[in-house]
Amino acid sequence: MAKSAADPDPRSAYQSVDPFIGTGGEGHTFPGAVAPFGMVQLSPDTDTTCTVRDCYGHAAGYRYDDPTIQGFSHTHFSGAGHSDLGDFLIMPVSGDTVKLEPGSGDDPASGYRSRFSHDSEVAQPGYYAVTLSDYGVRAEMTAGTRIGIHRYTFPADKAAHLVFDLRTSLYNYPGKTLWSSIRLRDDRTITGCRQTRGWAPDRKLCFAMRFSAPLSAHRFVSTEQDVTYKGFQGPGRGTDAVEAKQGRALVAQLDFGTLTKPLEVKVAISSVDEAGALNNLYAETGDFDAIRDETRTAWTKALGRVKIDAPAAMRTNLYTALYHSLIAPSVAGDADGRYRGPDNEVHQADGFTFRSTFSLWDTFRAEQPLMTLIQPEKVNNEIIESLLASQQDSPFGILPVWQFQGRETWTMIGYHAVPIIADAYLKGIGGFDADKALDAMVASATYGPYGDLKDYMAMGYVPIDHEPEAASKTVEYAYDDWTIARMAEKLGKDDIAARFYKRAGYWRNSFDPKTGFVRARKSNGDFRTPFDPTAINYGSDYTEGNAWQYSWFVPQDQAALFQAMGGDAAVVKKLDQMFEFDNSKLDYSHAEDIAGLIGQYIHGNEPSHHVAYLYDYAGAPWKTQNRLKQIVDTQYKPTPDGLSGNDDLGQMSAWLMFTALGFYPVTPGSLQYAIGRPFVDKAVVSLPNGKDFTVTADNMDDAHPYVGSVTLNGKPLGRTYITQGEIMDGGRLHFTMQAAPNKQWGTAPAARPYSMSTAR
């Protein structure tokens, strides 16, 4: 009998993940091998020869529609809207001729790159494989916490070589590599470092590489000299080294003769030094298969925190979303606890593992709240300790903004490490010094290196004639300030709470009651003109968006915002206008990060992510349910182009995970989740306290898109929110779905998510 769409999917959670989702379109994910939150992301790069202006589509190194692979590098972002990394690229080459230039995708024979077929690819959590057709080499990758292991099966009748290229990067340009070095330690081991001036300035990264077979010869080449070493003068020799000069980089040809069994290449990295990379190399023992098994076990355990019963396509979408949400923040500290901080100095982590890759403007919304449910005992304490360590190490004394490998990029706006810390603390996640954390939060909201904070504190808004993106900054600062007030109040710091509750109301100073939009104001108090609520221009009034998206960002005080907009009916009408807006006469081709448009709702970028849930707050939850189905049906699918916009280190994925469970953290720090509608027949979330929270649904199909009724632990639930405490207590949230909207359920003012008033 044919399996119906509603039948349980027999695959395990691990088998249900498809790492190719998001590798096409603008998802910017990578298909390669990574352990949960691993330091190494070992993945194929299909084009690292593009320049900054045309590299947006290759932000993760791999793009599904590319026909060739240049090699396999060890560091990648998962779904970022900008890029860097692509460190230490290795390419296996067979035969008598070895070219040391990468060549082009149009003419792979001009260099060392190779064509490949998707039919030969395999991608699973912690494992990737492909056949390089031009060389007849089967390439396999796996990864541990701080290591990556390559396994190359060469043709038995051809000489085996590796090209090791320290010149290549993602988002490349002339002079990006400031210097690089390679050191031959023995006939199976090389080490070295390089420093790049990329997205994070003056970033140093070192490597240690160990081969399962001895080198027969090698060649280290820089643009200034070409030095060939043939053989060795005895075991243990470690003096063969060449270092490229400022603005130069190295490439190596590593020869192994003909091989009768696969070549394994174990690589560790460290942002500290070569000794740290060597220590990381030997800290994780085992060959390729052993590390692959360990990482598969780790992924099976991590993915098993949520057990999902849904149709096959949705189950694949959800387990892949869960997988993507567990890649970052990445381990960035060495096995001995050392790490490089934002001051570019080496520090020692005391009792925690230092983590980095913080895309905070994105992930404070849903990614980090998801971690508080499924990884709090292992991850969030370390995340917060890492944030606090970075604040202590920062030359400005503030929390990270957009950080990777310990280095700050100053990308995006706000001080969004603040709500992550507050949300975790208010949920009872301990393991860190709360008073110290509050001090760091206040410092970040007071002394940051932004000129606009001084104006914001003095004037109650950011003036557009002093700073760009002023409208967005004002409302985002106000929300962050509210979370400081919440945490200060919990700690009994009433003076701090009062000061930041007042600042949390500053959103009002950028709201224009005449137009009904949040707008940029000048220092004289006037709103800037001309005003077009649909205009999207980088560096203008808004950050990666326009007035339509940003006018809804007052999550700390939705009731007051709705009152300012004219009341519930006016809000519902305006929300409908947003989703139904005719964009046919608009051109957003100049704006890279604008994707997934439904009218003026932009699901491919984060400022819109909570908007569909706002119907709940206006007393029209059936409209939230309708919009969520519209978003899920059009923005997610189990294909390479299945993400409408870049995943932003798990935020797009976390949105789907929460939404499929039937609730969403509109306001992190409020301890509430707005109820939408589920997209699973059943899901069981295993909580760290040993309890389970179960979501079930009857009539879960396209013919029944609306919520008819909801029960919590068997009792009718008439409100459109649940609390953190109710989830952590375990129990069962049950939905009965129906064909027509239920316009009575959850509509009363007392049934709506509670909007914490900023009036004090």
Express each pLDDT in 23-34 by its tens digit.
Answer: 999 899 999 999
Beta strands 250-257 and 160-165: pairing type? Answer: antiparallel
- For residues 73 and 170, give the distance between their C-alpha atoms in angstroms, rounded to a whole number: 10
What pLDDT shows up at residue 234? 34
| 70 touches 89 (CB < 8 A) | yes
- Cα distances (angstroms) measured from residue 536 to each of 79, 299, 330: 22, 40, 32
The residues pairing with 93 across neighbouring beta strands, listed in sequence order, are: 161
| 176 touches 196 (CB < 8 A) | yes
- Total count of residues recorded for the chain: 760
| 14 touches 320 (CB < 8 A) | no
Q: What is the pLDDT of residues 289-323, one digit of tens each?
A: 999 999 999 999 999 999 999 999 999 999 999 99
For the ranges 56-65, 166-175, 392-401, 624-633, which has the lowest average pLDDT? 166-175
- Give the residue from 41, 667, 143 showing the smallest Cα distance to 356: 41
Phi, psi of 90 (to 5 degrees): -120, 135
- For residues 80 and 442, give the distance between their C-alpha atoms in angstroms, rounded to a whole number: 28
What pLDDT shows up at residue 31? 98
What pLDDT shows up at residue 537? 86
DSSP three-state, residue 57:
helix
What pLDDT shows up at residue 98? 94
**Order of strands across the sheet with 715-716?**
306-309, 682-686, 692-698, 731-738, 706-712, 715-716
- Which residue did the predictor score with more confidence, 647 or 230? 647
Question: Is the confidence at residue 53, as pLDDT, over 70?
Answer: no
- For residues 708 and 740, give the distance between their C-alpha atoms in angstroms, rounded to a whole number: 8
- Give the residue from 215, 257, 23 showing the smallest Cα distance to 118: 23
The residues pairing with 737 across neighbouring beta strands, listed in sequence order, are: 707
How many DSSP H helices and E strands does the chain contain? Answer: 19, 39
| Mean residue pLDDT across the chain | 92
- For residues 510 and 608, give the distance between their C-alpha atoms in angstroms, rounded to a whole number: 18
756 pLDDT band, cuts 50/70/90, is low
238 pLDDT band, cuts 50/70/90, is very low
- For residues 41 and 146, give the distance between their C-alpha atoms in angstroms, rounded to a whole number: 9
- Where does 306-440 show beta strands of DSSP type E? 306-309, 330-331, 338-340, 346-348, 355-356, 358-359, 402-404, 407-408
Q: How many CA atoms lie within 13 A of 339 on its CB side?
A: 26
For the ranges 173-182, 239-248, 536-545, 599-608, which has the lowest average pLDDT? 239-248
223 pLDDT band, cuts 50/70/90, is low
| 329 touches 398 (CB < 8 A) | no
What pLDDT shows up at residue 603? 96
How many other CB atoms are found less than 10 A from the CB of residue 403?
Answer: 28
- For residues 200 and 356, give the distance between their C-alpha atoms in angstroms, rounded to a whole number: 12
What pLDDT shows up at residue 553? 98
- Give the residue from 308, 126, 89 showing the smallest Cα distance to 209: 89
DSSP three-state, residue 242:
strand
Question: Is the confidence at residue 229, as pLDDT, over 90?
Answer: no
Which residue's structure tokens are 């052993």? 290
Q: How many CA atoms lie within 13 A of 379 on its CB side?
A: 23
What pLDDT shows up at residue 227? 39
Question: Is the confidence at residue 235, as pLDDT, over 50?
Answer: no
Q: What is the pLDDT of residues 115-152, one digit of tens each?
A: 999 999 999 999 999 999 999 999 999 999 999 999 99
How many other CB atoms are found less than 10 A from the CB of residue 759?
Answer: 10
What pLDDT shows up at residue 47? 80
What are the residue ranges of helices labelled H in 26-109? none
Chain centre distance of CA 11: 26
- For residues 485 and 143, give the distance between their C-alpha atoms in angstroms, rounded to a whole number: 42
Structure tokens that stand for 409 in this block: 């990029």
Please, what's the largest Cα pairwise distance for the chain?
85
H/E stretch holding 500 = helix 494-504
Structure tokens that stand for 448 in this block: 């940051």
Question: Is the confidence at residue 415, as pLDDT, over 70?
Answer: yes
Q: Which amino acid belongs to residue 225?
A: Q
Q: What is the pLDDT of residues 577-617, one digit of tens each?
A: 999 999 999 988 777 678 899 999 999 999 999 999 999 99
- Cα distances (angstroms) measured from residue 426 to each of 450, 576, 670: 28, 34, 8
Question: Is the confidence at residue 172, as pLDDT, over 60?
Answer: yes
| Mean pLDDT computed over 562-576 | 97
Which residue's structure tokens are 């000794």? 275
The residues pairing with 33 across neighbouring beta strands, listed in sequence order, are: 42
**How does DSSP classify residue 20?**
T
- For residues 472 and 453, give the distance between their C-alpha atoms in angstroms, rounded to a whole number: 13
- Which residue did the predictor score with more confidence, 569 or 26? 569
| Mean pLDDT computed over 96-101 | 93
Rg (C-alpha) for the chain, rounded Å, is 26
